[in-house]
Amino acid sequence: MNSPIRVAVTGAAGQIGYALLFRIASGAMFGPDQPVILQLIEIPNEKAMKALEGVAMELDDCAFPLLKGMVLTDSGEVGFKDANWSLLVGAKPRGPGMERADLLKGNGVIFTAQGEIIDRVAAEDARVAVVGNPANTNTMIAASKAKRLTPDRFTAMVRLDQNRAQAQLAKKAGVDLTTVEDIYIWGNHSPSMYPAFRHATIGGKPAVDVINDNAWLENEFCPVVGKRGAAIIAARGLSSAASAANALVDHVHDLMTPGKVHSIAVKSEGAYGFDPNVWAGMPVRTTTPGSYEILKDYDLSDAFSQEKIAATNAELVGEREMVAEMLG
């Protein structure tokens, strides 16, 4: 058995938190041999802290063998102290009819403070995964505050979009989901994202040949995946929680598993036409636990892909301009 790692989670009493913490404590995220200490961070508010106590009571009541301790706090200094992983979930969620852009500035303040504190107090091997929206730009803001931790330590989650795309392709083709492979997400975690279906395979054959319906792929599949978050909000009256928590388990699990190829949002190095320094979704291969290389050889030279990449890149650049005064 390894020695415990410290996992800080913000927004721990929120709805994603409630679907996430039990999966971490059960071993789904870091594996059956990795004990964890959960450092649960909420806002300094009596109701939120009371709710957090209730979640911690339930975690106790699960008697998880891998859960070696819990810290409940409304202080980032305490919550991020020596954290090996910081999962930044806490943010103001988008309500019905609200644009993501409305959230940019308000949430930027949160990620400015958290980036600075994590850089100062987290563990030497600290890794950060951001879920709170607008996730890509929040990650850019947090990373810009770091003097010690390099930008590659800060990733944003686009795995929910990858999982959604995989499920939609399987449904359309009428096949088992596990036969759908190589579907990755480029760009922003927003409706502008590009689930690049031309690389996808179904049972080892190109998905475009199996599905044989280009109009559906371009005009239905892409918007359905891109707007799935809004569709969940419209149906549930709340943003996706269980599937988001599940995607974060996948994101971190695959980042800890050498050889895995998966979509995460990372600092662009200019590949695929993304502006350098925006955080954009793209496929990576995990090299050593927590580290990755960006895969740069996917062909996106067709006109449709070029148009999609240009649109999502333009949105990311626009978001960066809106928060320019918060960077650095």
Ligand X SMILES: NC(=O)c1ccc[n+]([C@@H]2O[C@H](COP(=O)([O-])OP(=O)(O)OC[C@H]3O[C@@H](n4cnc5c(N)ncnc54)[C@H](O)[C@@H]3O)[C@@H](O)[C@H]2O)c1
Ligand Y SMILES: O=C(O)C[C@H](O)C(=O)O
Positions that interact with ligand X (CB under 6 A): 10-11, 13-17, 41-43, 48, 89-91, 93-94, 110, 131-133, 135, 157, 160, 189, 239-241, 244
Nearer to ligand X, 42 or 250 (CB): 42
**Is 6 part of any known ligand binding site?**
no
Residue among 15 and 73 whose Cβ is closer to ligand Y: 15
List b or e across 184-213, with b for residues whose CB sees 16 or more CB atoms inside 10 angstroms. bbbbbbbbbbbbbbbbbbbeeeebbebbee
Which of 279, 328, 311, 253 minimizes the C-alpha distance to 135? 279
Q: Does 88 bind ligand Y (CB under 6 A)?
A: no
Q: Considering only 33-41, 226-234, 258-266, 285-293, which stretch makes contact with ligand Y by CB under 6 A?
A: 226-234
Q: Which residues contact 202 (CB under 8 A, 6 or more apart)?
A: 169, 170, 173, 175, 179, 180, 181, 210, 211
13 marked ligand binding residue: yes
Out of ligand Y, ligand X, none, what residue 14 binds, judged by CB under 5 to 8 A for its kind, is ligand X
**Closest CB to ligand X among residues 142, 202:** 142
Q: How many CB atoms lie within 10 A of CB 303?
A: 7
Report the distance separating Cα 252 and Cα 254, nearest Å: 5
Nearer CB in complex with ligand Y: 19/232: 232
Q: Which residues pair with 285 in a beta bridge?
A: 261, 293
Least distance (Å) from ligand X to the CB of residue 42?
Answer: 5
20, amino acid identity: L
Interacting span for ligand Y (CB under 6 A) from 75-83, 107-115, 225-233, 248-256: 225-233
Determine whether the annotation assigns residue 15 to a binding site. yes
CB of 97 to ligand Y, least distance (A): 12
* Residue with nearest beta carbon to ligand Y: 229
Q: Find the binder of ligand Y among 15, 39, 239, 313 (CB under 6 A).
A: 239
Q: Nearest distance from residue 264's CB to ligand X, in Å?
A: 11
Q: Confirm whether 262 is a catalytic residue.
A: no
CA 154, CA 279: separation in Å to the nearest integer?
Answer: 9
Hey, which residues between 194 and 213 contact ligand Y (CB under 6 A)? Answer: none
306 is in an annotated binding site: no
Asked if residue 232 binds ligand Y (CB under 6 A), the reply is: yes
Residue 133 binds to ligand Y (criterion: CB under 6 A): yes
Q: Out of ligand X, ligand Y, none, which partner does residue 167 contact, by CB within 5 to 8 A per kind?
A: none
Q: Please say which residue, 126 or 232, places its beta carbon nearer to ligand Y.
A: 232
Judge contact between 187 and 198, C-beta under 8 A.
no
Alpha helices in 179-299 (DSSP H): 207-211, 214-216, 222-226, 228-236, 242-255
Q: State the Cα–Cα distance between residues 23 and 17, nearest whole angstrom.
A: 10
Which among 181, 194, 200 has a CA at the least distance from the CA of 272? 194
Closer Cβ to ligand X, 107 or 313, answer by number: 107
| Nearest Cα residue to 90 out of 20, 164, 168 | 20
CA distance 263 to 2: 28
- Say whether 313 counts as a known binding-site residue: no
Residue 232: contacted member of ligand Y, ligand X, none (CB under 5 to 8 Å, by partner type): ligand Y
Does 133 show up as a binding residue in the annotation?
yes
How far apart are the C-alpha atoms of 34 and 28, rounded to whole Å?
10
Return the active site residues: 189
Binding residue positions for NAD(+): 11-17, 107, 114, 131-133
The site for ligand Y (CB under 6 A) is made up of 94, 133, 160, 229-230, 232, 239-240, 244
